[in-house]
Amino acid sequence: MAYDYDLFTVGAGSGGVRASRVSAQLGAKVAVAEEALLGGTCVNVGCIPKKLMVLAAHYRDDFEDAHAYGWTVGERRFDWRTFIANKDAEIARLNGVYQRILEQNGVKIFSERATVLDANTVRVGDREITARHILIATGSRPRVGAGPGAELAITSNEIFHLPEQPKRVLIIGGGYIAVEFAGILHGMGTAVTQIYRGHLFLRGFDDDLREVLADEMRTREIDLRFGIDLKSIERVPGGLRVVLSDGMTLEVDQVLSAIGRVPNADGIGLEAAGVERNAKGAVAVDEYSRSSVPSIHAIGDVTDRINLTPVAIHEGMALAATLFGGRPTKPDHRGVPSAVFSHPPIGTVGWTEAEARARCKNVGIYRSRFRALKHTLTGREETVLTKLVVDGATGLVLGCHLLGADAGEIIQGFAVALKCGATKAQFDATVGIHPTTAEELVTMREPVPEEPLAEAAP
Is residue 263 exposed (0-12), middle (13-18) or buried (19+ Cβ within 10 Å)? buried
| Start-to-end Cα distance in the chain | 53
Cα–Cα nearest to 111, from 93, 121, 120, 98: 98
Residues 6+ apart with CB under 8 A from 286: none
Task: Let me know how many helices (H) and strands (E) the chain has, helices first.
Answer: 13, 21
Give the C-alpha separation, 61 to 353, whole Å: 31
Strands 296-298 and 127-136 turn out to be parallel
Give the C-alpha separation, 367 to 376, whole Å: 21
Q: Specify whether the CB–CB gap between 217 and 182 falls below 8 A.
A: yes
Cα–Cα nearest to 335, from 427, 418, 411, 422: 418
Give the C-alpha separation, 453 to 194, whole Å: 27
Q: Return the exposure string of 188-206: e unless at least 16 CB atoms fall within 10 Å of the residue's CB, then b.
A: bebbbbbbbeeebbbeebb
Whether 333 is a known active-site residue: answer no
Q: How far is CA 269 from CA 28, 37, 273, 455, in A?
A: 24, 21, 6, 43
Give the C-alpha separation, 55 to 187, whole Å: 10
Give the C-alpha separation, 399 to 349, whole Å: 6
Give the C-alpha separation, 73 to 123, whole Å: 58
Residues 6+ apart with CB under 8 A from 146: none
Give the C-alpha separation, 197 to 174, whole Å: 8
Which ranges of 26-115 would DSSP assign to H, the alpha helix? 40-45, 47-66, 80-104
Q: For residue 233, give the 3-state DSSP assignment.
A: strand
What is the amino acid identity at position 59?
Y
431 HSE (CA, 13 A, CB side): 1
CA-angle at 223, arms to 258 and 188, nearest 5°: 75
- The length of the chain in residues reads 458
Instruction: Tell me the catalytic residues.
Output: 434
